[in-house]
């Protein structure tokens, strides 16, 4: 009993110190946020996922051998619609004049001109990933800006894919925030709890994104999905502290309630985070080094989430304390007893099995094979079916 009391007093002392020094903590976080915002644009993002392949993998060795033995120039196939052959022939000279364009193939055959459609085979001076080819491709797009064009090329495709991924992930993040806010509106006891939670998470996300600069270079995949994963992994920490505060605030004033709630939440949240951190650390030992890249960024994300919850959130709760007191509402989430929770888990397991069986019955056999057949066998089967036999 004495050991537990001393331990409780220790965490209460720590919580009291954090709450009493909250103004200094505000200043430190403000400086850190400014630094992170400035550093976001300095983060180097790697678009080439093949760079994370293991050095001894067959794919990596094959790519290195191809680069050593062959020089493959970047190319593009550009179709211009609604154009006469005379005007299409004039465009050849304009395209050849573009800096970085090595050759433009075009003639009056059906391979290059049909109806009112002209097809140009453009070869650039550099390889696909070289900047000279990317600049030339952009210049070609500008040259043909006044025409109806359709472009097929691998030059700059990685950047476009990364931009599309980032756009999709931003949309997913917005949808996730909307869903979380909707859930919190139903499950919290006061409306002003929601700004507290969003501010705490927002600060943690900014700090994590800005400090990616410390790592030198991160992958485009990690850069796109880190914020969403951080939201999914770490929002619970802020909710736990907020719930603790609401419980203690029923019998204490706001400042005392924050101190007691924080003293109880620190060991609970810390223990909970160890499981998540362990999983992220395990990812860092993957042979595919993208796992290391994602793992270290997400570990950092969890640490900054903990720092924001333990240091910043107590002060924010005190700032919003009056608003929380004046915005109480009914909690629409029903209390679930032990027997009820067991029935819910039992019904959920039955429903999962039923949904999985229905999925297998309704799926295309080819789609089922995609998941059921081992990957190496699928590759061999696909190669044997589609690869022409050389004579």
Spatial separation of the C-alpha atoms in residues 249 and 258, rounded to whole Å: 8
pLDDT tens digits, 239-275? 999 999 999 998 999 999 999 999 999 999 999 899 8
Q: Work out the pLDDT band at 13, boundaries 50, 70, 90.
A: very high
**Does 369 score more than 70 pLDDT?**
no
Residues 6+ apart with CB under 8 A from 366: none
Average pLDDT, the chain: 81
Element (DSSP H or E) covering residue 117: strand 117-124
- For 182-204, the DSSP string reads HHHHHH-SBTTHHHHHHHHHHHH
The pLDDT confidence band at residue 6, using thresholds 50, 70 and 90, is very low
Count of alpha carbons within 13 angstroms of residue 369, beta-carbon side: 9
Secondary structure letter of residue 92 according to DSSP: H
What is the pLDDT, as a whole number, of residue 370?
A: 40
Q: Which has the closest alpha carbon to 249: 334, 322, 333?
A: 322
**Phi and psi, residue 154, nearest 5°:** -95, -5
The bridge status of strand 217-219 relative to strand 44-46 is: parallel
CA geometry: angle at 322 spanning 316 and 328, to 5°? Answer: 105
pLDDT digits (tens, 9 = 90+) for 92-138: 888 988 898 989 999 888 889 988 899 999 988 888 878 888 888 88
How much is the pLDDT for 41? 86
188 band by pLDDT with thresholds 50, 70 and 90: confident
Joined tokens for residue 108: 């009056």
Report d(CA 289, CA 284) in Å as an integer. 7
Cα–Cα distance, 249 to 325 (Å, whole number): 9
* Inter-CA distances, 284 with 44, 291, 297, Å: 20, 5, 10
pLDDT for res 8? 47
For 296, the token pair is 């270290």
* Contact status, residue 49 vs residue 159, Cβ threshold 8 Å: no
Residue 362: what pLDDT? 53
Helix or strand or coil: residue 237?
helix
- What is the H or E stretch that residue 114 is in? strand 113-114
Average pLDDT for residues 171-190, to the nearest whole number?
A: 86
Helix 220-249 vs helix 193-210: crossing angle, to nearest 10: 150
Q: Is the model's pLDDT at 379 over the cut of 80?
A: no
Q: Measured between alpha carbons, how far is 149 from 126 in angstroms, rounded to an integer?
A: 23
Q: Is the predicted pLDDT of residue 360 greater than 60, yes or no?
A: no
Average pLDDT over residues 191-202: 92
Give the CB-side neighbour count of residue 262, counting CA atoms within 13 A. 30
Q: What local confidence, expressed as pLDDT, does residue 388 receive?
A: 42
Q: What contacts 147, CB < 8 A, 6 or more positions away?
A: 80, 81, 82, 83
- Is the model's pLDDT at 332 over the cut of 70? no
User: pLDDT digits over 44-99, tens only?
Assistant: 888 778 788 887 888 777 877 777 777 778 889 999 999 999 888 989 888 988 89
| Confidence at 27, pLDDT banded by 50, 70, 90 | very high
Quick: pLDDT tens for 209-232: 999 999 988 988 898 889 888 988
User: Under 8 Å CB-to-CB from 204, ≥6 apart: which residues?
Assistant: 230, 234, 301, 304, 305, 307, 308, 309
Q: Are 225 and 298 in contact (CB under 8 A)?
A: no
C-alpha span between 391 and 372 (Å, rounded):
34
Question: Is residue 371 scored above 60 in pLDDT?
Answer: no
Provide mean pLDDT across the span 159-166: 77
pLDDT tens column, 140-152: 989 888 889 998 8
pLDDT at 385: 40
Instruction: List the structure tokens of 265.
Output: 């939440």
């Amino acid at each position: 009993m004495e050991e537990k009391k001393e331990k409780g007093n220790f965490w209460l002392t720590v919580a009291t110190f954090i709450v009493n020094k909250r103004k200094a903590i505000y200043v430190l976080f403000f400086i850190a946020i400014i630094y992170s915002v400035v550093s976001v644009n300095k983060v180097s993002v790697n678009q080439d996922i093949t760079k994370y392949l293991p050095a001894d993998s067959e794919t990596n060795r094959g790519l290195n051998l191809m680069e050593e033995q062959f020089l493959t120039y970047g190319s593009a196939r550009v179709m211009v619609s609604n154009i006469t052959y005379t005007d299409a022939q004039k465009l050849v000279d304009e395209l050849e004049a573009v800096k970085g364009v090595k050759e433009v193939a075009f003639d009056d055959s059906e391979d290059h001109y049909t109806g009112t459609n002209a097809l140009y085979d453009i070869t650039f001076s550099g390889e696909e990933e070289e900047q000279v080819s990317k600049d030339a491709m952009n210049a070609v797009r500008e040259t043909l800006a006044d025409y109806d064009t359709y472009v097929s090329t691998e030059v700059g495709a990685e950047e476009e894919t990364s931009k599309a991924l980032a756009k999709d992930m931003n949309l997913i993040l917005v949808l996730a925030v909307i869903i979380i806010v909707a859930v919190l509106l139903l499950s919290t006891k006061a409306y002003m709890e929601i700004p507290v939670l969003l501010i705490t998470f927002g600060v943690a996300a900014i700090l994590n994104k800005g400090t990616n600069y410390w790592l030198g270079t991160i992958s485009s995949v990690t850069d796109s999905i880190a914020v969403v994963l951080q939201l999914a992994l770490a929002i619970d920490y802020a909710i736990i502290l907020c719930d603790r505060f609401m419980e203690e605030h029923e019998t204490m004033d706001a400042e005392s309630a924050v101190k007691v709630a924080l003293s109880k939440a620190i060991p609970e949240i810390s223990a909970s985070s160890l499981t998540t951190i362990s999983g992220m650390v395990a990812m860092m030992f993957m042979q595919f080094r993208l796992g290391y890249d994602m793992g270290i960024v997400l570990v950092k994300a969890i640490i900054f989430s903990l720092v924001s919850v333990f240091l910043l959130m107590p002060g924010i709760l005190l700032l919003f304390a009056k608003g929380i007191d004046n915005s109480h509402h009914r909690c629409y989430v029903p209390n679930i007893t032990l027997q009820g929770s067991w029935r819910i888990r039992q019904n959920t397991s039955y429903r999962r099995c039923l949904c999985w069986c229905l999925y297998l019955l309704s799926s295309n056999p080819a789609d089922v094979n995609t998941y059921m057949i081992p990957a190496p066998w699928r590759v061999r089967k696909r190669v044997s079916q589609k690869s022409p036999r050389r004579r």
